[in-house]
A and B are shown apart, each in its own frame.
Chain A
Amino acid sequence: MNGALPFIVGAALLALVLGFVARRGKNMNLEQWTVGGRGFGAIFVFLLLAGEIYTTFTFLGGSGYAYGKGAPAFYILCYGTLAYVLSYFMLPPIWRYAKDNRLYSQSDFFVRKYESPTLGVIVALVDIVALIPYLVLQFKGLGIIVEVAGYGAISSTLAIWIGAVIVAAYVMVSGVHGSAWTSVAKDIMILCVVIFLGLYLPYHYYGGLGPMFEAIEKAKPNFTVLPSRGESLWWFASTVLLTALGFFMWPHTFGSIYTARSARVIRKNAILLPLYQLILLFVFFVGFAATLQVPGLTGSDIDLALFKLSVKTFDPWFVGVIGATGMLTALVPGSMIMMTAATLIANNLYRAVKPQADDRQVSRLAKFLVPLVALVAVFFTLKGGETIVALLLMGYSFVTQLFPSLVLSLAQRNIATREGAAAGIIAGVATVASLSLTGASLHKLSWLPGEIQDLNIGIVALAVNFIVLIAVSLAMRSAAAPTHAAAE
């Protein structure tokens, strides 16, 4: 037993209790379980969105990125902000349509808009393939955090199993309510811990932010500006744009807007969330502070920067508090992902095969699938090697492929047909997969100007997607034109 453990164990129990209490007074039908009865106000929607967005990636990856690469990490601050600006205009019509048609998932949205259950299956498959690695990432982070912060008392494998059981249990019982309630604890803790670390560490080691950046500039000139090649300005601009478009395409993020009580709730959040994004600034400060204090971490070890520096600086009990916070940043998004994946399988794959299934059956199946999804993710976390890493890198690009057909479907007159939407998504996903698996990059095309070589390769997939979508839609329309004209 060491000083850190009580806090980590305490936070795990707190999550479990909050997750169960969240159920009180609710009849857990599918509508309550997966979209909170569409009754969440501004604060709960905020907690859900913040809960999903600030994941282990924020905690470990954000600080690690600043530690290892410097200025390119700033892109994380920018894309979220722009995604929230888009959300003000894009999400209210989605919310309204979902409410009017009683939709449960992102896939449902495509099914209704394009009147195509097949498209729904395609979207659900893309979603699931992107979600499982994302869940694996949370579990991996959880294992690392508990092992390091607990000074090795709890092995990473054991931590992953315990975490998976806790989350699966409260998701089965309380669904999205459980995620929202545990998010309360997580957000309070992360706010306090990260702001404290971000201000204290630069002060403790350098005497303040200014002196810290001065020292970094001296030791590593130009660490805080974007390099002229590689992760350059062109990389930055294209990556910020792409990830801002893909942001709300994550099915669990998309689904959480269904929980809103009104469109106004969503618009209000577009004002608040950019500010909340600034938590990342303090995460970066930690990474920058670590860069001269615990140098030498390379490869995927850069993600350990925050904990290495914390262990060096603080007493075990406080490392435990940081570990507890880190653990919650894995559990809350983990719970949303599990619920979304289970809902997609039950509601959009099972129901597509068995259309006569009613909501009660689907609801029961979805809850039953939660532990299975958790098991699959634990399996990949413990056994999965390169494949899962490859899928993870592709996940964001996969869901971004849903953007064109989604946005077009919001227009009064949608120029995309169901065939066009399906073909575009498939072409985009295939492009992402083939580019990633072959390790292709624009840098290999040495005849291209440097600026273009630096562009995020996701742009290529999105362009292929869009061109195929338009071409197929136009072809289908002109083929259907005679009958169409007759009908009018």
Chain B
Amino acid sequence: MRSIRWLAVIPFLALIVGPFFVNRATPVILGLPFLLAWIVAWILLTSLIMAVIYAADPANREDET
């Protein structure tokens, strides 16, 4: 299950490389310009990714690590 940790690379790609492809004001999503909407979406997804990594991490099942 350790390979799940590699999911952590995705937020870096999305927030550092991603803007090169989404540096636009439109389409507007939920009122937000597209670049801002992209960043907000990836912050939410980052939290989700970290939750998945946490759940799969055997270190978190030990009592006091």
Contacts and interface: CB of A to CB of B under 8 A. Distances in A.
Our verdict on whether A and B bind, yes or no, reads yes
Interface of A: 71, 74, 77-78, 81-82, 84-85, 88-89, 92, 208-210, 212-214, 217, 222, 224-226, 233, 236-237, 240-241, 262-264, 267-268, 270-272, 274-275, 277-278, 281, 284
B50 A237 contact: no
Q: Is the interface of A mostly helix, strand, loop or mixed?
A: helix
Contacts of A81: 11, 15, 42-43, 46
B44 interface: yes
A209 B31 contact: yes
Interface string B16-31: 1101100111001011
A267 B32 contact: no
Given A82-B16, A85-B11, 10 more contacts: A74-B35, A88-B8, A89-B8, A212-B31, A213-B28, A237-B16, A241-B16, A267-B60, A271-B47, A275-B43
A233 B47 contact: no
29 contacts: A74-B35, A77-B40, A78-B15, A81-B11, A81-B15, A81-B46, A82-B11, A85-B11, A85-B50, A88-B8, A89-B5, A89-B8, A208-B31, A210-B30, A213-B32, A224-B25, A224-B36, A226-B19, A237-B16, A240-B15, A263-B59, A267-B59, A270-B50, A271-B51, A274-B44, A275-B43, A278-B40, A278-B44, A284-B36
Contacts of B17: 237
Instruction: Give 10 closest A-B pairs by Cβ, nearest first.
Output: A209-B31, A210-B31, A224-B33, A78-B15, A271-B50, A274-B47, A274-B46, A271-B51, A237-B16, A275-B47
Interface string B33-63: 1011001101110110111011001011000
A233 B19 contact: yes
B43 to A, nearest CB: 5
Contacts of A88: 8, 50, 53-54
A263 B47 contact: no
A97 to B, nearest CB: 13
B54 A268 contact: yes
A416 B23 CA distance: 40
Contacts of A82: 11-12, 15-16
A264 B15 contact: no
A278 B43 contact: yes
A363 B24 CA distance: 54
A74 B57 contact: no
Given A85-B12, A241-B16, A267-B57, A274 B36 contact: no
Contact of B47 (A210, A214, A272): A272
